[in-house]
Amino acid sequence: MYNFNLFEHPAGGYRKLFETCEELSETIPATVTGRIPSFLKGSLLRLGPGLFEVGDEPFYHLFDGQALMHKFDFKNGQVTYFRKFIRTDAYVRAITEKRVVITEFGTFAYPDPCKNIFSRFFTYFQGVEVTDNCLVNVYPIGEDYYAVTETNYITKVNTDTLETLKKVDMCSYVNINGVTAHPHIERDGTVYNIGNCMGKGASLAYNIVRIPPTQKDKSDPIDKSKVVVQFPSYQRFKPSYVHSFGMTDNYFVFVETPVKINLLKFLSAWSIRGCNYMDCFESNESQGTLFHIAKKNPGEYIDLKFKGAPIGMFHHINAFEDQGFIVVDLCAWKGFEFVYNYLWLANLRANWDEVKKAAMLAPQPEVRRYVIPLDVHKEEQGKNLVSLPYTTATATMHADGSTWLEPEVLFSSPHQAFEFPQINYKRYGGKNYTYAYALGLNHFIPDRICKLNVKTKETWVWQEPDSYPSEPLFVQTPDAVDEDDGVLLTIVAAPGAQRPAYLLILNAKDLSEVARAEVECTIPVTFHGMYKP
């Protein structure tokens, strides 16, 4: 077991992750040490914020900076790097008007001072102008690629040139207010996603949307998007914040946390009071966490009540079925407080002692395994319904007919998060698996790459002084036999080094270094991305 003997970061080099950088006009070569595996022939695509202020107006939250797409290309053992801002409406208008024009997650856009009171009033009257700042992730739909955030807008990009092609409004196709940046993609290219919507009787619900794979007639698969199943909402006008969901071969898993979006506040107070998205979140301290399941084909909600203690949750790791149970592994944050409250840029750019002090107050991270029994009808209350031999997770039926879930903790270390999880998704997504990889957050500062054996709880760590990696993406060796036969790709910021950023390739078995490709420019924080073969 690795001892999490942590690096301190008094020099504050992590601040470089949150600094504006320029886009590139042409690709730049990287300096390679080690050997790039010959099977790496495509591109690593990553997204994150790259513009942290417009003129003299700053963006305030980690999720506000304007979307910058990064690309490392592999060819004949050589590596090149390129990046470009995505030409969203939010970005183009900000650059044109030299101010924040569209309200972001934690930054309110003030109305144009040059407009008179009447035109400002009418702008308010038209309601919310939702951001299309797609800084969170990129994924394929059919033969196209889309950069995404969590609103209803997704942006089609050319992954070779990084040109912005078009903005697509998912509201035009399905009943949805927004979709997550974490879809599930099946082997044939079918995409599933979730978002809140207006359900029956003007109350809220959550819809799972299916987008079919590439069409024979070359038509756009988005045209054929449809809702396959609907989950009810615990509160009528306050949907939970949803960042991802679980999917097995036959089921969807939706975890409804106590972190709520106050829709009435969102719709009414938005423009007049100068509110941003962050102002519309609140916690329902009495709700706890609700676990919902639905059948996949055909989509059918299973009306069983599963409850647990309150957690915040952004990322599912994996879910699978086993002997009449659904096993759900996720990155949890204990309690009902919204973790995004700790991701203001001012917090993240503070001195190391201040960063640590603030993080001490935040919810504690933990990797948890929950087990949901599919058959709870004939069992008596008070008895643990989980009979899987390899887990201590329990499910106990209460007198009111609900089943209480207690998790097994797979990893826990104070203020050390195992986050931005990845697995060998192509082969083990929705299946019984052994290994998860993640970005290690040390008091919210990303400073290591971790691997976890979810069966034995053994851990491995890659870490170097003053080095700040990103989410590790797993790429399998072509003729792999073992689940962890492959490499991890991550972008590391090394502010003090001669070349201040590099693509790092690690052996997924033991996290030993295979190669690195260094570039002569800084690279800011990135959230998610993909390897495109």
Q: Is residue 413 part of a domain?
A: yes
Sign of the torsion angle spanned by Cα atoms 404, 410, 412, 417? negative
The helix/strand/coil state of 523 is coil
Is 6 part of any domain?
no
Is 90 exceeded by the pLDDT of residue 270? no
According to DSSP, the residues that pair with 505 across neighbouring strands are: 489, 515
User: What is the distance between the alpha carbons of residues 320 and 436, in angstroms, rounded to a whole number?
Assistant: 14
Q: Where are the alpha helices (DSSP H) in 83-177?
A: 89-97, 117-125
CA nearest 327: which of 302, 299, 293, 304? 293
Question: Are the C-beta atoms of 102 and 133 separated by less than 8 Å?
Answer: yes
pLDDT bin (cut points 50, 70, 90) of residue 136 is very high
For residue 61, report the phi and psi dihedrals to the nearest 5 degrees. -115, 155
Q: What is the pLDDT, as a whole number, of residue 114?
A: 67
Q: Output 377 or 118, whichever has higher pLDDT.
A: 377
Task: Please check the confidence at residue 1 and state whether its pLDDT lies above 50.
Answer: no
Assess whether pLDDT exceeds 90 at residue 452.
Answer: yes
Partners of 255 in beta bridges = 291
Which CA distances in Å does 512 have to 281, 337, 481, 501, 515? 41, 37, 19, 19, 9
Q: Compute the average pLDDT of residues 321-332.
A: 98
CA-based nearest residue to 53, from 110, 91, 15: 91
DSSP SS3 for 205: strand
The reply to whether 3 falls in a domain is no
Point out the annotated binding site. Answer: 182, 243, 315, 528
Residue 384 DSSP class:
B
Cβ atoms within 10 A of the Cβ of 384, count? 15
Which residues carry a binding-site annotation for Fe cation?
182, 243, 315, 528
Helix ranges (H only) for 286-387 are 345-348, 352-360
The overall average pLDDT reported for the chain is 94
Confidence of residue 236 (pLDDT cuts 50, 70, 90): confident
Position 264 scores a pLDDT of 80
Query: What does the pLDDT look like over 66-90, one tens digit per residue?
Result: 999 999 999 999 999 999 999 999 9
Q: Residue 401, by phi and psi: left (phi above 0), alpha (psi -120 to 50) or beta?
A: left
Q: So what's the pLDDT on residue 457?
A: 98
Rounded Cα distance between 234 and 116, Å, is 43
| Structural domain of 465 | 13-532
Name the 3-class secondary structure at 85. Answer: strand
Q: How far apart are CA 242 and CA 196, in angstroms?
A: 8
The Cα 116–Cα 99 span in angstroms is 18
Residue with tokens 């007198």: 399
Render pLDDT for 201-226 as a digit per residue (tens, 0 to 9).
Answer: 778 999 999 999 999 999 999 999 99
Over pLDDT 90: what percentage of the chain?
Answer: 88
Question: Tokens representing 365?
Answer: 């991270």
Q: What is the mean pLDDT of residues 11-17?
A: 97
CB 150 within 8 A of CB 64: no
- The total domain count for the chain is 1
d(CA 198, CA 175): 7
Using 50, 70 and 90 to split pLDDT, how confident is the model at 2?
A: very low
Question: How much is the pLDDT for 353?
Answer: 97
Examine the pLDDT at 36 and tell me if it is beyond 90. Answer: yes
Question: Is 5 inside any structural domain?
Answer: no
Residue with tokens 């007919």: 401
Judge whether residue 428 has pLDDT over 70.
yes
Q: Residue 2 domain-assigned?
A: no
Confidence of residue 300 (pLDDT cuts 50, 70, 90): very high
In a domain, 74, yes or no: yes
pLDDT at 166: 97
**Rounded CA gap, 306 and 489, in Å?**
37
Beta-strand pair 300-308/403-406: parallel
Cβ atoms < 10 Å from Cβ of 387: 12
Cα–Cα distance measured from residue 426 to residue 300, given in angstroms and rounded to the nearest whole number: 26
- pLDDT-derived band at 263 (thresholds 50, 70, 90) equals confident
Residue 185 belongs to a domain: yes
pLDDT tens for 335-363 read 999 999 999 999 999 999 999 999 999 99
459: in domain: yes
Report whether 147 contacts 166 (CB < 8 A). Answer: no
From the centroid of its chain, how far is CA 97?
Answer: 30
